[in-house]
Structure 1
């Protein structure tokens, strides 16, 4: 790309080895063999852990670190205002609430960013990593503000943008009826990746997105998920098909390997069914299987790297750059709002111990 590079301010929770800040922002600073098309001109770090990398990186790249978000947005302007903002509110030492949600300051980061931009009369593209907020009311407030002010926005997970292995005919998604995603890790932090994978596929069904009617999350203690499967409440066949595309899985009975997986059950307003089976240690990647057409099943792996340099983050970084340069949202903001609501209500369901109706997730796009 010729010409002057777009000038971008970066707001992060912490910047240390293998953090999202390092594998995304680090690339935008030219690390990890990446050749950025934008220029990071200012940086704010909310926390500075003992293994912090931000000070060394900023000094090497000649980038000022500011003590407030307002300064980070406003101070580097001079004759040329910033053209975009990257917010990475992931990792760091933050409290966990009674619903087991990490209370990342994503709304605060966003709110202070928009206030600083508004003071300058600027509307620029904003990228914010993963879901909008741990609180759905906060997420809805952010969404409404973006819509009211016409703020271009990109959020969400890196995993939906991975290659699918094996590749399949995307037209199969048009007649999707039910889908199961295999996931791993922590319920909220990794569950949102699975929600994003699920939604990126489900939204392509005939008629588009209709919204979510209800959500339930079973932790799996005492084999709840397996008991629900035995009762026919979620499809074993789709789980086995989704597992079949993940290489290197041990050849042993699943219930012995994973006696207490978690289970998310999502019911869409149009009758489509979504499931996430989340294992503790069986898998390290995401895969899926969906039923379509005349009861055919398609399954694929989301081909994310398990080790550095994490190519899926390189793809995400490329998408972020193109978004910051063009101002064109690569997918609907409503997807990020809906997946945020889905993971928030799932954690509410776990806390309250029951399935929850979700009339506020009547989100169409």
Structure 2
């Protein structure tokens, strides 16, 4: 595995508890990994804040921990072994020009990881992949949702025929949709034949969501299985601590007052549903049905702030990617996700 001597961060913002801060601090200071506190020895960390401006947090890290800050992008990454590009917020909105400039200035044979969606469209994602390949740069993208803890710890056995899938998330558009895709696509691509693409997308809002469940366009059994994994049921459990079957008692429509859903018809016949149910639960849970009828479900557990230790898992994945230059997942996932997020934004 390659020795890492210099890693450059190219970021749109630097605020406390943001993915930028969480990832940069782990590479700069170290992070828990494999039963110990792991540090990158003799590796210099530099940061370029796109758009410039002052940052007291960056200045503190420069003064206390030797973080290098360069106002010029090209100088920041000129001799880097690898770069981490971090979009603003959760990473749902890409800056194609910034990624293009980063890939154009990175040394040949380096690696680049993008936190969030790879690009703003499928076409832009393909162009980024082409540009990276032309410079012999290993390129990948994703978020911690794709690699976070699963409760219970499980996975779909490779080559399993799947019939349908469902994931429940919460939050504003498009961040919640990014979470849903980052959580579900790694599971679906393990099915027999892998991911073949999405043929059709349907957007539902409000009562349309529940009507579609009644019509069998998404599975209520899968929803019940996914919800059963939640640690954050809302309503009465929050008020007095009781256990409550939110799905079985029909309480979800009363809790999720402004639901939205995305129904995906995959080219191989698989149906998947992304349900955004603000007010019902406050975590991420999924369920899949195999062709034999078996239900598999789990929570995608994200430890709470301030530490957000699921980002330690992502940091480990990124570090291994930088050392081996082997992408942690198929590039096809990054392209599909960019295309789906583009389509969601047009509906």
The TM tier, using the shorter chain, reads: 0.7 to 0.9
241 and 324 in structure 1: CA distance in 2 versus 1, 3 angstrom threshold: same
Gaps of 5+ in 2: 235-243
- Structure 1 CA distance for aligned equivalents of residues 178 and 331 of structure 2: 15
116 and 279 in structure 1: CA distance in 2 versus 1, 3 angstrom threshold: same
Q: Normalising to structure 2: TM-score of the pair?
A: 0.87
User: Residue 239 of structure 1: CA displacement?
Assistant: 0.8
- Do the aligned partners of 1:127 and 1:154 also contact (CA within 8 Å) in 2? yes
User: Residue 200 of structure 1: CA displacement?
Assistant: 0.4
User: Residue 4 of structure 1: CA displacement?
Assistant: 5.9
Check if 1:135 corresponds to 2:121.
yes
346 and 235 in structure 1: CA distance in 2 versus 1, 3 angstrom threshold: same
167 and 308 in structure 1: CA distance in 2 versus 1, 3 angstrom threshold: same
Which of 167, 180, 187 is the aligned partner of 1:201? 187
- Structure 2 CA distance for aligned equivalents of residues 116 and 233 of structure 1: 47
Check if 1:25 corresponds to 2:24.
yes
Query: What is residue 72 of structure 1 aligned with on the other side?
Result: 76
Query: What is residue 214 of structure 2 aligned with on the other side?
Result: 230
Deviating more after overlay: 232-241 vs 55-64: 55-64
Runs of 4+ in 1 over 6 A off after TM superposition: 48-51
- Structure 2 CA distance for aligned equivalents of residues 330 and 71 of structure 1: 28
Matching of residues 1-365 of structure 1 within 5 Å = 5-30=4-29, 35-37=38-40, 39-47=43-51, 52-74=56-78, 81-91=79-89, 103-105=93-95, 107-117=96-106, 122-168=108-154, 170-171=156-157, 174-218=160-204, 220-221=205-206, 223-250=207-234, 251=244, 253-348=251-346, 350=347
User: Residue 32 of structure 1: CA displacement?
Assistant: 6.5
Q: Deviations over 1:267-324 (max 9, x none)?
A: 1111011111012233232111110032111111112112221111000011111111
User: Residue 169 of structure 1: CA displacement?
Assistant: 5.7
User: Residue 242 of structure 1: CA displacement?
Assistant: 0.3
Gaps of 5+ in 1: 75-80, 93-100, 351-365
- Do the aligned partners of 1:126 and 1:154 also contact (CA within 8 Å) in 2? yes
Q: Secondary structure at the match of 1:275?
A: strand
- Structure 2 CA distance for aligned equivalents of residues 50 and 62 of structure 1: 17
52 and 229 in structure 1: CA distance in 2 versus 1, 3 angstrom threshold: farther
- Do the aligned partners of 2:148 and 2:300 also contact (CA within 8 Å) in 1? yes
- Structure 1 CA distance for aligned equivalents of residues 101 and 5 of structure 2: 21
- Do the aligned partners of 1:27 and 1:35 also contact (CA within 8 Å) in 2? no
User: Residue 329 of structure 1: CA displacement?
Assistant: 1.1
48 and 19 in structure 1: CA distance in 2 versus 1, 3 angstrom threshold: farther
- Structure 2 CA distance for aligned equivalents of residues 284 and 124 of structure 1: 39
**RMSD of aligned alpha carbons:** 2.4
Q: Deviations over 1:40-82 (max 9, x none)?
A: 43210125678751121122222331222112112xxxxxx32
68 and 216 in structure 1: CA distance in 2 versus 1, 3 angstrom threshold: farther
- Structure 1 CA distance for aligned equivalents of residues 11 and 155 of structure 2: 38
23 and 173 in structure 1: CA distance in 2 versus 1, 3 angstrom threshold: farther
- Structure 1 CA distance for aligned equivalents of residues 290 and 135 of structure 2: 39
- Count of residue pairs brought into register by the alignment: 328
Q: Normalising to structure 1: TM-score of the pair?
A: 0.83
